[in-house]
Amino acid sequence: MWKFLESEMLVILGLAEDATRTDAQIADIYSLKKGTVASIRRRLLDAGAITFVNVPAFNKLGCEMIGFHMGTAEPTERVDARANNYIEFSNKTPQLFHGLTGGSSVVFYTALKNATEYDELVQNHNRFFSGPRRESKARMVSSVFPFALTKVNLVPNFAPIVHRFFQLDVPPPKCSAPVSAEVESPDLSKTEQTTLVALVENPRASDREIGAIVGLSRQAITRIRNKLLEEGICNPVCLPSLYKWGFEICAVAHTKFNMEMPWEKRLKSQPKEVLELSFYTLSKADEGVANYIIARYSDYSAQLQGILAWYHKARALDETPDITLFSLERSTELRTFEFGPAVRHLMLS
């Protein structure tokens, strides 16, 4: 498990809460020196303790829904063979932006233009896992979360997890709660589309470096970047590499809700940990998915008992939640909020 200095913890927390903060802003918030923050930022990035991604607002790029796909496979198949097959499937599936496989379980998320693309993805999955790869195929349960009916984390929500883990004596960050999002047709020129793809595929590149990729001046890239940021189309996010810090478990909870309880009432009265500690949440009136990454199994057990007790007492559940645990040490990433293939598919295919 990595050990961080308090100054490093503060810089990580500051960036996890708002990746657009400058070194000077973080220094001012936490009473550090600007040069110290700059040095810490470089060191953390070089060591792989944190990384940056440019998160696209899929609803603003014409996507109508997010797909959730969870499955289990026969335990007799070799784990490494299944992992390699699902990595190959991911490489052939540009819509897939986040997912992992471990043991006999698989989970992944997709950005989908419409219901037709959803059906095509399911068919492609079944076709890919035919023949010699059939033994690796997970029995998938897929659900779609249309933006028109869903509250969703438009950007991953790691700041509350980082704050709780570090136990710093600083105010807790604001929770990035799931929100409703309208589907929009992208009003971007071909140059802006190409630049968006380059920004998502190269999140740490400077405007000059992006300009060299797409054949534009640094000034032109700066203007486009600012437009995409102002319109909420592209959002910089700092992701902590929690599995490298010693975190043990990823838990994915798929829940069916009792429709007798109004959706808004449930959201307002449920334990705050349900949303605050889920780094990616999809929620609609009858169904929800929450993702938790947890330092120790004992922490998971304590949190789960408290949360489930409220749901049962409030009679908010339609059936027992399906909770799948992944050992981070023994799991394989398919993609970790890697949005480049999906955006290229949307913009340039």
Q: Which domains does the chain have, with CATH numbers?
A: 1-47 (1.10.10), 151-180+245-330 (3.30.70)
Give the tens place of pLDDT for each residue, 113-158: 999 999 999 999 999 999 999 999 999 999 999 999 999 999 999 9
Q: What is the mean pLDDT of residues 97-109?
A: 96
pLDDT at 201 over 90: yes
The answer to whether 106 and 73 have CB atoms below 8 angstroms apart is yes
Confidence category of residue 195, pLDDT binned at 50, 70, 90:
very high
Give the per-residue pLDDT at 313. Answer: 85
Give the per-residue pLDDT at 100. Answer: 96
Confidence category of residue 338, pLDDT binned at 50, 70, 90:
very high
CA angle 91, 234, 50 (to 5 degrees): 70
Q: How many other β-carbons are positioned within 10 Å of the β-carbon of residue 225?
A: 18
Q: Partners of 335 in the beta sheet?
A: 99
pLDDT at 1 over 80: no
Give the per-residue pLDDT at 230. Answer: 96
Confidence category of residue 215, pLDDT binned at 50, 70, 90:
very high
Give the per-residue pLDDT at 286. Answer: 96
**291 closest CA partner among 95, 101, 156, 130:** 156
Q: What is the mean pLDDT of residues 90-103?
A: 96
Give the per-residue pLDDT at 294. Answer: 92
Give the tens place of pLDDT for each residue, 29-67: 999 999 999 999 999 999 999 999 999 999 999 999 999
Confidence category of residue 306, pLDDT binned at 50, 70, 90:
confident
pLDDT at 341 over 80: yes
Give the per-residue pLDDT at 292. Answer: 93
**96 closest CA partner among 344, 328, 279:** 344
Give the per-residue pLDDT at 147. Answer: 97
- Edge-to-edge strand list for the sheet holding 96-102: 139-146, 65-72, 105-112, 96-102, 331-335
**Percent residues over pLDDT 90 in the chain:** 84
Give the tens place of pLDDT for each residue, 7-17: 999 999 999 99
Give the per-residue pLDDT at 78. Answer: 85
pLDDT at 86 over 90: yes
Q: Say if residue 95 is exposed, middle or buried (CB neighbours under 10 Å; 0-12, 13-18, 19+).
A: buried
Name the average pLDDT for the chain.
94
**197 closest CA partner among 169, 162, 233, 161:** 233
Give the per-residue pLDDT at 115. Answer: 96
